[in-house]
Amino acid sequence: MKIEILGMGCPKCKILYENVQAAVKEVGIDAEVIKVEDMDTIISYGVMLTPALVINGEAKASGEVSSSEEIKKWLKK
C-alpha cells in the first residue's frame, strides 16, 4: 500500500503524517508512507488545499488533518 501526504511541510502536514504513521501501526499493515512536497505532483491529484492524504493513488482528504481513526477506516477497506 502506498500512502502519500501532500503538503509543503506545514505544521498540519506534520500532524497528518504522525496520524498516518499511528494508523498504519495500529492496523498492522505494510505501507509505504511518503511526504510529497512537489507542487506539480500535488496539483496532479486535483488537490487545491493541503494537507491532503492519498491512498493508493486516490485522494481521500484535502485541506484537513484527518484523525488516525478516520485513516484506519480507509486503510481497512
| C-alpha 5, offset from chain centre | 4
Q: What is the pLDDT at residue 49?
A: 94
C-alpha cell belonging to residue 43: 496539483
Structural fold of domain 2-76: Glutaredoxin (3.40.30)
Residue among 3, 13, 52, 71 flagged as catalytic: 13
* pLDDT one-digit tens code per residue, 9-62: 899 999 999 999 999 999 999 999 999 999 999 999 999 999 999 999 999 999
Residue 9 has a pLDDT of: 87
Give the pLDDT score at 52: 97
Report CA dihedral (43, 61, 24, 37) to the nearest 10 degrees: 30
DSSP SS3 for 61:
strand
Give the pLDDT score at 77.
81
Whether the model pTM is above 0.85: yes
Averaged over 64-75, what is the pLDDT? 97
What distances in angstroms separate CA 3 from CA 8, 10, 43, 71, one per listed residue? 16, 18, 16, 10
- Judge whether 10 counts as a catalytic residue: yes
| Domain limits, the chain | 2-76
Of 10, 29, 43, 49, the catalytic one is 10
